[in-house]
Every structure is written in structure tokens, then in C-alpha cells.
Structure 1
């Protein structure tokens, strides 16, 4: 299912989106290496910073502390970007090679670099509602090919007792 989702989103139109932002923006425009272009939708507001984190696609390493992953010699990558004041939002993150990965997006609205459950937003390549439980690996998995893989992530925020869901304004 995640593979089908990743393949379907990889062919999403890119021309409608603006130039990618973030620490790895050049990776989506250079035409070399493997990268993921993330078209972000559903931001609650234009405050704070945006973050992408790329993990190995296995249960043991998904959402594991980056210091532990690095200490164990495993791949981990994080990029940041200021939230643009207006317009479409596209981020880019480099992947080490084609393969399977798990991708997390967060909207750090207060800019404190710590996820605030009550305030911040999150998203994965899956369109499933996040709810109240820890996200599942299947929600974050995608296949990255050679070149740029394009996906769309719809941001979700805490919506009362039912947990995280897309912001509806």
C-alpha cells in the first residue's frame, strides 16, 4: 500500500508548486543524486519553522533518537526551513541512495525545536488520519528512486479528543 502511494505521488504535478526551500533545496534542482521533494499542504498558519526527517524504513529505527542512529552507524537526515509568509510550500531532502525510507514532516510553530503536542503539526506520506497513537511505520514509508521523488504531505494538528487530523480552518 505504501509503495503504491509513493509511486502515485511520485508522478504528482510539480510545476504548480514553487521552488523547494530548506537546507537541501539544491538537491531537488541539480539533477544529481536521490532526493525527495515534499509538497506541503494544510498549514494552520505561517509561523515558525518546517522540518523534514528521513529515517531507515524499519520498526526499530523509525522515530528513534538521531544521536542513537548516528552512534549505531545508521542513516539519518534532518533539514529545516523557515515557514514562508505565503505561497505554495515545497521542501527538499537528500536521500543517500535509491531505496526505502520513512519520512516525517513537522511544523514547529513556536520555533523551539521541540515538538509541542498541543500546538505543532505533523504529517506523513500516508493520507490516513494520525489520531492519538504513535504513528505507524507504514504511514511514513516511501520508495525513493534515482533523481527526485515527489510526494505531497497534508499537515495534521491536534483536533480535540480524537487526536491529530488535517486542519480545516
Structure 2
């Protein structure tokens, strides 16, 4: 039997840990449905990054891949609101069954529940959205933002964008 000591054992242990958890750069999923992601059922982990401040709330809405209901009022399948925490946030959103879905995310900076110019937003797939798109209320192409969820939780990155001058872009971009 091979016996490892000192630095060799430490390096081997660190390597084993990095292979065991390849996609976990952020803390455990949060939100009222966190157990859906921890227990391994069909779910989405919305990995929200690019928050411009550490106040307010983040709202994640899950939509079916359906042009008629995507982004329509009260047509979401699931909505999760969580208070903002420092850094990127992994927010668990359960899905009804494996299939194709899309996410919209909004950062309500002041937490008042009303949309204002200071609030940010984003979508799964991180499509480019212009200030003109916002003003004209044009939706991103559903095919650009849809993703597939299987029988296990799926990590979906969303980078938030904010109005900056005459642009709608990620902070610092």
C-alpha cells in the first residue's frame, strides 16, 4: 500500500476535491426552493452576477419555451425573490419537469417592487439588449435565451445589465 505524507498528500487531496466539484465556484444555492437543487431534482440554478450594489432584491422568473407566454404578465411558471447578497448569487428555481425553459432576472436596486431606471436585468443566454430594445419593449429572441433542463439541476449564468448613459450593459463594460 502506498503511503503519502506531507505535501504529496495535500496536493493529491486538493486535486481530488477539484475533480469532485468542477462547477461550484459559488456558495450553495439560495432561495425558498434551495432544497430542490440540493436534492438533485429537475431545477435551475440561476447564477446571477454583475450586481451593481448589495441592496434590494433579485427576482428570477422561469418561463416555458413558448413565444406566446414568454415575458407576458403573470405567464411565468415560477418566480423567486431573494434579498441581494454580496458577490454572485446562485438562486434555485424548481422546474415542473425536464424540458426547455428561459429565465428573466431583475435587480430591484431599492427593493421597492417598482421598476426604475436604476434597476438592472438580464436573461438566460445573456443576449445583447439595447436601450432602444428596452424603450420599445422588444423581447429577446426566445431561441437565444432558451435552455434545456434534464433530470438534474442545471446551472444557467445570467450577467445583469444596467442603464449607463445611453447604453444598457454590464457594470464596468
Q: Aligning the two structures, in what range does the TM-score lie when normalised by the shorter sequence?
A: 0.7 to 0.9
**Aligned residue among 1, 18, 27 for 2:27:** 18
Partner secondary structure for residue 147 of structure 1: coil
Q: Which runs of 4+ in 1 moved over 6 A?
A: none
Partner secondary structure for residue 166 of structure 2: helix
Unaligned runs of 5+ in 2: 1-20
State how far apart, in whole Å, the 2-side matches of 1:38 and 1:13 are. Answer: 17
State how far apart, in whole Å, the 2-side matches of 1:13 and 1:155 are. Answer: 24
**Which stretch has the larger CA shift, 36-45 or 132-141?**
132-141
Contact 2:51 2:88 in 1 (8 A): no
Relative to structure 1, the CA distance from residue 139 to residue 111 in structure 2 (aligned partners, 3 Å threshold; closer, same or farther) is farther
State how far apart, in whole Å, the 2-side matches of 1:106 and 1:130 are. Answer: 14
Which protein has the larger Cα radius of gyration, Structure 1 or Structure 2? 2
The residue that corresponds to 1:142 in the other structure is 147
State how far apart, in whole Å, the 1-side matches of 2:88 and 2:127 are. Answer: 22
Contact 1:129 1:166 in 2 (8 A): no
Quote the offset at 1:125 in angstroms: 1.8
Instruction: Give me the CA root mean square deviation.
Output: 1.9
Partner secondary structure for residue 121 of structure 2: strand
The one-character-per-residue Cα deviations of 1:22-62 (angstroms, maximum 9, x if unpaired) are 1211111012x210011111110111001110112122101
**Is 1:55 aligned with 2:57?**
no
Contact 1:39 1:91 in 2 (8 A): yes
Greater RCO, 1 or 2 (C-alpha within 8 Å, sep 6+): 1
How many residues are paired up?
147
The one-character-per-residue Cα deviations of 1:49-101 (angstroms, maximum 9, x if unpaired) are 011101121221011111xx3xxxxx6110111111x2431111000000011
Quote the offset at 1:112 in angstroms: 1.7
Relative to structure 1, the CA distance from residue 135 to residue 13 in structure 2 (aligned partners, 3 Å threshold; closer, same or farther) is farther
Aligned residue runs from structure 1 range 18-57, under 5 A: 18-31=27-40, 33-57=41-65
Contact 1:41 1:155 in 2 (8 A): yes
Unaligned runs of 5+ in 1: 1-11, 70-74
The residue that corresponds to 2:105 in the other structure is 105
